[in-house]
Amino acid sequence: MMESIGQQAVVNILSHIIFIIFTWRVFQAVNFEPMFRKGRTAEATVVIIFLTIAVGTTVSNFFLNLLQWSGQLLYLF
């Protein structure tokens, strides 16, 4: 029982980290400079980091929920 909780925690952490990294890579390809004032690079970087974390964890939660729900389909019949 406790091993499965630990395994699920590791999968959740890895999923979040992987999707945050993917989101960061995607955001690096987008030009956000026109949306920020000149000379505000630090603030722009912080906003991009927060957006990356928010989008990455949201997508990760979606896939983790989908994985969980697909495993629960066994109990349908």
Identify the helix (H) or strand (E) that includes residue 39: none
pTM of the model: 0.84
Domain positions in the chain: 2-76
Each residue of 30-46: b (16+ CB within 10 Å) or e? eeeeeeeeeeeeeeeee
Model pLDDT, residue 67 = 93
* Cα four-point dihedral sign 33, 34, 36, 37: positive
Model pLDDT, residue 15 = 97
The Cα–Cα gap between 10 and 73 comes to 23
Mean pLDDT of residues grouped by 10 in the chain (77 residues)?
87 97 95 83 90 98 96 88
Instruction: Judge residue 73's burial from the number of C-beta atoms within 10 Å of its C-beta, 0-12 exposed, 13-18 middle, 19 or more buried.
Output: exposed
